């Protein structure tokens, strides 16, 4: 897949709110980049933000006096996003779009309740392969089912689903959705244990071609890349973001890097080497990145590294 340069308009500022992630800590302190959940008198008695093995980010871009938001992924549980919005005492304005980074349940589980809350007319952007039935087949032979979003139920709900393999521009040209990401590295191998049901039979599906990410160009700073799980490989994603936009400067990388667990930890050294070469000013590994990789990134890039917690707002 060759990349044709796309004109990505700059934003004046970008806010990324961690709505669903694997970790929440009520005592983390804020910095210039990361605004943590404020300490309140009812800290321990009010409704609490909830951590889960899921991912969702509310992304708000500002340009020329306009302020627009979209949601990347909807967490694992039906009420995770909505619980955390209530606990954080945040009621966003209208969403311009919902983007699914890929079809795995920990990124799509809250989609239908989120549409009920924000309105079924909010367009849902997704790669067509996100609707494949999938499973993980463990070496023991045990299987873990990965049910996709229910397309028929979404249609009955009145949802507008935009299924596209190609890059596309959102928020009036200020946010780029990568679409399917070319695989160019030797060490980012997708998900070797995954299978998908294609034409009525189960077949190996290690690539997870539906994995896609968002790219925003922040004025005078460079590109911010926001990934869901990085099954395509976070380095592949960064390379593609640069190729698509023609912008080399990488400002921020936020999201899951899928380096956790025995199958993926072998890619940690090469990933960190490439991340150091890319030299982002801000790096926030979340969700599926894994304990070993997060600590290795923190040690290798201490000035750029920021630890995530549900409720954190990154101001870029």
225 occurs within a structural domain? yes
What pLDDT does 219 receive? 98
For 216, the domain range is 10-315
3 occurs within a structural domain? no
In angstroms, what CA-CA distances link 121 with 78, 79, 94, 310, 313? 19, 20, 11, 27, 26
**pLDDT, tens digit (0-9, with 9 covering 90-100), for 36-53:** 999 889 988 999 999 999
CATH of the domain at 83: 3.60.15.10
Other CB atoms within 10 A of residue 76 CB? 21
**pLDDT, tens digit (0-9, with 9 covering 90-100), for 127-158:** 999 999 999 999 999 999 999 999 999 999 99
The crossing angle, in degrees rounded to 10, of helices 234-245 and 268-278 is 30
Which residues have CB under 8 Å from 155's CB, separation 6+? 161
- How many domains would you assign to the chain? 1
129 occurs within a structural domain? yes
What pLDDT does 268 receive? 98
42 occurs within a structural domain? yes
CB 217 within 8 A of CB 167: no
C-alpha 137/C-alpha 29 separation (Å) is 41
What pLDDT does 2 receive? 46
**pLDDT, tens digit (0-9, with 9 covering 90-100), for 280-307:** 999 999 999 999 999 999 999 999 999 9
132 occurs within a structural domain? yes
153 occurs within a structural domain? yes
**pLDDT, tens digit (0-9, with 9 covering 90-100), for 50-69:** 999 999 999 999 999 999 99
| pTM beyond 0.85 | yes
C-alpha 32/C-alpha 288 separation (Å) is 25
Positions in the chain short of pLDDT 50? 1-2
DSSP one-letter code for 60: E
235 occurs within a structural domain? yes
4 occurs within a structural domain? no
The crossing angle, in degrees rounded to 10, of helices 291-300 and 268-278 is 40
What pLDDT does 43 receive? 83
What pLDDT does 209 receive? 97
In the three-class reduction of DSSP (H, G, I as helix; E, B as strand; rest coil), residue 4 is classed as coil
């Amino acid at each position: 897949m060759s990349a044709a340069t796309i004109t990505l308009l700059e934003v004046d500022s970008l806010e990324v709110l961690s709505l669903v992630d694997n970790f929440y800590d009520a005592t983390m302190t804020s910095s210039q980049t990361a605004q943590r959940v404020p300490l309140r008198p009812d800290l321990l008695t009010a409704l609490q933000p909830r951590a889960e093995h899921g991912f969702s980010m509310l992304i708000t871009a500002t340009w020329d006096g306009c302020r627009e938001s979209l949601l990347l992924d909807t967490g694992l549980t039906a009420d995770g996003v909505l619980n955390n919005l209530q606990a954080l005492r945040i009621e966003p304005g209208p969403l311009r779009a919902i983007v699914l980074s890929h079809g795995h349940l920990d990124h799509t589980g809250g989609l239908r309740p989120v549409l009920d809350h924000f309105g079924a007319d909010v367009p849902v952007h997704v790669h067509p392969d996100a609707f494949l039935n999938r499973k993980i087949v463990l070496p023991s032979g045990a299987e873990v089912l990965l049910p996709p979003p229910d397309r028929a139920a979404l249609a009955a709900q009145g949802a507008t689903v935009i299924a596209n393999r190609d890059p596309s521009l959102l928020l009036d040209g200020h946010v780029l959705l990568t679409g399917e990401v070319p695989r160019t590295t030797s060490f980012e191998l997708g998900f070797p244990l995954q299978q998908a049901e294609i034409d009525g039979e189960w077949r190996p599906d290690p690539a997870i071609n539906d994995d896609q990410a968002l790219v925003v160009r922040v004025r005078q700073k460079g590109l911010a890349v926001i990934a869901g799980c990085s099954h395509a490989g976070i380095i592949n994603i960064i390379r593609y973001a640069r190729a698509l936009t023609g912008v080399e400067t990488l400002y921020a990388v936020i999201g899951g890097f899928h380096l956790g667990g025995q199958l993926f930890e072998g890619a940690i050294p090469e990933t960190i080497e490439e991340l150091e070469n890319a030299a982002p000013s801000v790096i926030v590994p979340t969700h599926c990145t894994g304990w070993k990789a997060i600590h290795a990134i923190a040690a290798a890039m201490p000035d750029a590294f920021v630890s995530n917690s549900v409720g954190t707002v990154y101001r870029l």
